[in-house]
Amino acid sequence: MKLNFKGLRALVTGAGKGIGRDTVKALHASGAKVVAVTRTSADLVSLAKECPGIEPVCVDLGDWEATEKALGSIGPVDLLVNNAAVALVQPFIESTKEVFDRSFKVNVRSVLQVSQIVAKGMISRGVPGSIVNVSSMCTIRVLSTHTFTGSTKGAITMLTKAMAMELGPHKIRVNSVNPTVVLTDMGKKVSANPDFSKKLKERHPLRKFAEVEDVVNSILFLLSDSSASTSGSGILVDAGYLAS
């Protein structure tokens, strides 16, 4: 998708791998200045080689104080992609406090914190903005043992709407993209059982999972003025899965 983000500054979380990494590359190629936030420093080093001029920030977004220190004075941001998340798989009956806390801190609380920092900056500068939360089709249909993917992404649905309600009068749009399985490191782990993976794929009307590029294109559309009247909403990138 060819869009022009020249003159705009974007912040992408979970920028080291998978969907976040390709989102950084696409924004960089479309002229945006990009702040790339992730946890593993080596990923930022290789990304900075591919995308000269990006601003790398290495932080564990599950740590509130460290995130405040790393991003509290990040400066003007026009476009935000809240993409970082963990997929810690446990059946409900065996779920632990530690996995609950980690999942909600990274997948939900960091979205609140980073969005607050960015939205406060947009409001004080009096500029419009667009925020995209990378969610999942698991907000609607849970996969077995995905207790926390489903429940954290379900929380993101209502957080997206609450943010859209409150930030709309400031001309800040907030939306989500909701992919099915994408074969990133996370997606490969989740669909590691070949039998489960084959059966799951067959339940998709298009008989496939989503590609990283499909998700990135939807993110870029929601960031851009091409979706100027869309807020509090979500795009399913699910190969038709939820139609069945």
Contacting residues toward ligand NAP, per CB under 6 A? 14, 16-20, 38-40, 43, 60-62, 83-86, 106, 134, 136, 179, 181-182, 184-187, 190
Instruction: Report the first-to-last Cα separation within the chain, whole angstroms.
Output: 28
- 196: three-class secondary structure by DSSP: helix
In angstroms, rounded to a whole number, what is the distance separating the alpha carbons of residues 8 and 31? Answer: 8
Residue nearer to ligand NAP on the CB measure, 77 or 85: 85
In angstroms, rounded to a whole number, what is the distance separating the alpha carbons of residues 83 and 102? Answer: 16
Residue type, position 31, single letter: G
Residue nearer to ligand NAP on the CB measure, 124 or 144: 144
Residue nearer to ligand NAP on the CB measure, 181 or 223: 181
Residue nearer to ligand NAP on the CB measure, 34 or 186: 186
Instruction: For 230, list phi and psi in degrees, rounded to 5.
Output: -110, 120
Residue nearer to ligand NAP on the CB measure, 18 or 129: 18
What is the closest distance, in whole angstroms, from the C-beta atom of residue 157 to ligand NAP in the complex? 13
What is the closest distance, in whole angstroms, from the C-beta atom of residue 98 to ligand NAP in the complex? 14
Q: Which helix (H) or strand (E) holds 208?
A: none
In angstroms, rounded to a whole number, what is the distance separating the alpha carbons of residues 59 and 39? Answer: 5
Q: DSSP strand E in 14-134: where?
A: 33-38, 55-58, 79-82, 129-134
C-beta nearest to ligand NAP: residue: 18
What is the closest distance, in whole angstroms, from the C-beta atom of residue 143 to ligand NAP in the complex? 10
Residue bearing tokens 């749009």: 173
What is the closest distance, in whole angstroms, from the C-beta atom of residue 88 to ligand NAP in the complex? 10
What is the closest distance, in whole angstroms, from the C-beta atom of residue 187 to ligand NAP in the complex? 3
